[in-house]
Amino acid sequence: MNTRPRPRCYTVGLTLTLSILSWCGVLRAEEPTVRELVSKSRRVMFLGDSITAAGQYIAYFDAWLVTELKDKSPKLIDCGLPSETVSGLSEDGHAGGQFPRPDLAERLDRVLKAVQPDLVVACYGINCGIYLPFDNARLAKYQEGMKKVKAAVEKSGAKFIVMTPPFYDDLRSPKKFSYNEVLDQYSDWLISQRKDGWTVIDLHGPMTRAIQDKRKTDPQYTMQPDGVHPNDAGHWFVAQNLIRAMGDEKSASAESAQAMLAGRHAPEGLLPLVQQRMSLLRDSYVSAAGHLRPGVAKGLPVAEAEAKAAMLSEKIAEMVGAAK
């Protein structure tokens, strides 16, 4: 065995090489898991379009969280806004020409200031291609917008998780081209950002494969009756992917949110309370931050909404505690 000490120049060279690699980001500290990001947060804000604004998948995920983390569960605040994009684009005649699609950039700083989240989960893309054939310029607008969202979130001191866009059901809302294949490219780009340290939960790929698999035996199966907006099964599918990212495959494999909660011995009245709290805080914070999207219900003042949410949280904690 060669036991001679390495020459000093070798050691210095190795140290210098490692320093350069580290400075360039080639040697990266291990990124935190989704579970670590969520578990260490007090306030988690969800941003997205009408799918997120509906809030159903967030309520399902929240119900799982309160049974999993109990009193250490973070507060989830839904700040989704219907029609919104991160690309800043809008198709001609959107909403019958009544208003263009809102751009998250217009309200992002205000909503971050209002909510003061520790973690932001964003899901955009299905509107960002504005339902037209693939175009590199439109994709570039999406990429630019998403990078700006991430930068603004991190500048505020929060962590950032992004979900790839959901499936688009070409069968239910057919075009002369496959819009879901357009979204494939938006999804692929987001996934590629993992190499730069982005935390990306893939929704698009699993949802596409799940629907294709279902249609082998049920050709008309859908999770989005109008092609875009998920039904109950679709919202549960989004929640499943969040729960799976948290490391709970058993709960994520349940057939429905109700089955998941039953399997966790949660009381029957838990989900309605969680849904009520979610809607209360969503309406309040979206209103408080302000936006340019007509037709969105105005919420209570934040202080009043938070007080009511605190009472709901007490009931939820009592129910979860009694179910031990």
Poorest-pLDDT segment among 16-25, 134-143, 165-174:
16-25
Q: Is residue 167 part of a domain?
A: yes
Instruction: Please write the tens of the pLDDT for every residue from 96-118.
Output: 999 999 999 999 999 999 999 99
State how many domains the chain has: 1
Q: Is residue 27 part of a domain?
A: no
Q: Calculate the alpha carbon distances from 301 to 72, 113, 286 in Å.
A: 26, 15, 11
* pLDDT of res. 268: 87
Instruction: Please write the tens of the pLDDT for every residue from 143-191.
Output: 999 999 999 999 999 999 999 999 999 999 999 999 999 999 999 999 9
Give the SS3 label for residue 225.
coil
Predicted TM-score (pTM) of this structure? 0.90
Residue 73, domain extent: 34-322
Q: Is the per-residue pLDDT at 3 higher than 80?
A: no
Q: Is residue 152 part of a domain?
A: yes
Q: Decide if 321 contacts 117 (C-beta within 8 A).
A: no
Spatial strand order of the sheet with 159-163 comes to 75-78, 43-48, 119-123, 159-163, 199-201
Q: Is residue 306 part of a domain?
A: yes
Instruction: Please write the tens of the pLDDT for every residue from 38-61.
Output: 999 999 999 999 999 999 999 999
* pLDDT of res. 180: 98
Q: Work out the pLDDT band at 29, boundaries 50, 70, 90.
A: low
In sequence order, the β-bridge partners of residue 123 are 48, 163
Residues 6+ apart with CB under 8 A from 131: 91, 175, 179
Q: Is residue 6 part of a domain?
A: no
* pLDDT of res. 5: 53
* pLDDT of res. 23: 47
* pLDDT of res. 135: 98
Instruction: Please write the tens of the pLDDT for every residue from 230-275.
Output: 999 999 999 999 999 999 999 999 999 999 999 999 998 999 999 9
Nearest C-alpha neighbor of 108 from the set 77, 129, 79, 74: 79
CATH classification at residue 193: 3.40.50.1110
Q: Is residue 8 part of a domain?
A: no
Instruction: Please write the tens of the pLDDT for every residue from 195-211.
Output: 999 999 999 999 999 99
Q: Is residue 243 part of a domain?
A: yes
Q: Which helix (H) or strand (E) holds 201?
A: strand 199-201
Q: CA-CA distance, 178 to 176, in Å (whole number)?
A: 7
Q: CA-CA distance, 159 to 232, in Å (whole number)?
A: 29
Q: CA-CA distance, 201 to 165, in Å (whole number)?
A: 10
Q: CA-CA distance, 324 to 311, in Å (whole number)?
A: 21
Q: Is the per-residue pLDDT at 13 higher than 90?
A: no
Give the percent of the chain with pLDDT over 90: 89
Q: Is the per-residue pLDDT at 320 higher than 50?
A: yes
Q: Is residue 96 part of a domain?
A: yes
Q: Calculate the alpha carbon distances from 252 to 95, 119, 237 in Å.
A: 36, 22, 9
